[in-house]
């Protein structure tokens, strides 16, 4: 089986009573990690994204792997692989549907506190990742200016700032 599958769901509108076909893309759930260092630096990654054809600055993350046992373990694995940082404790700050009109999956955003660099990054063979430290105070302007374009990263960072963590 590939990374995703597409299925058609026939559903009746409760408003009109007419039936319609809806295309649903089943895609694995994924995690992203918001890591803020004691110096108020956000650990981010810069990488080329084939879907949009651009290099984006984003929070580290990836697909939840069934071999990890649970989403938190996937988050710890992705954090270490992509950034070299390790965190003893992750706090789930939100679960969202990235595009519920057509995607069935969820995205989980974790906050990594008291994390530290413990190794060199070990990205997957298809990944070309640059680890970047961004001052937390710069994040709102980076969102406003469009320097940050990765929607789920913007959501996670904005939620963190909104909640005043």
DSSP string, the chain: --S-EEEEEEEE-TTT--EEEEEEEE---EEEEEEE-TTSEEEEEEEEETTTTEEEEE--EEEPPGGGSSHHHHHHHHHHHHHSEE-SEEEEEEEE-S-TTTB---EEEEEEES-EE-S-----TT--EEEEEEEGGGHHHHHHHTS---HHHHHHHHHHHHHT-
- Tell me the CATH architecture of domain 29-163: Alpha-Beta Complex (3.90)
Q: What is the pTM of this model?
A: 0.91
pLDDT tens for 80-131 read 999 999 988 899 999 999 999 999 999 999 999 878 999 999 988 888 899 9
């Amino acid at each position: 089986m590939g990374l995703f599958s597409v299925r058609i769901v026939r559903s009746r509108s409760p408003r009109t009573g007419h039936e319609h076909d809806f295309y649903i893309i089943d895609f694995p759930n994924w995690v992203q990690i918001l890591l803020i260092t004691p110096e108020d630096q956000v650990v981010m990654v810069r990488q080329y994204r084939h879907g949009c054809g651009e290099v984006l600055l984003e929070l580290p993350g990836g697909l939840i792997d069934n071999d990890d046992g649970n989403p938190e373990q996937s988050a710890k694995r992705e954090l270490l692989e992509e950034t070299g940082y390790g965190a003893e404790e992750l706090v789930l700050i939100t679960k969202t549907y990235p595009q519920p009109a057509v995607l069935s999956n969820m995205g989980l955003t974790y906050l990594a506190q008291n994390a530290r660099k413990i190794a060199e990054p070990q990205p997957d063979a298809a990944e070309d990742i640059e680890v970047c430290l961004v001052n937390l105070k710069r994040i709102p302007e980076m969102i406003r200016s469009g320097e940050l374009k990765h929607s789920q990263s913007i959501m996670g960072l904005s939620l963190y700032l909104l909640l005043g963590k």
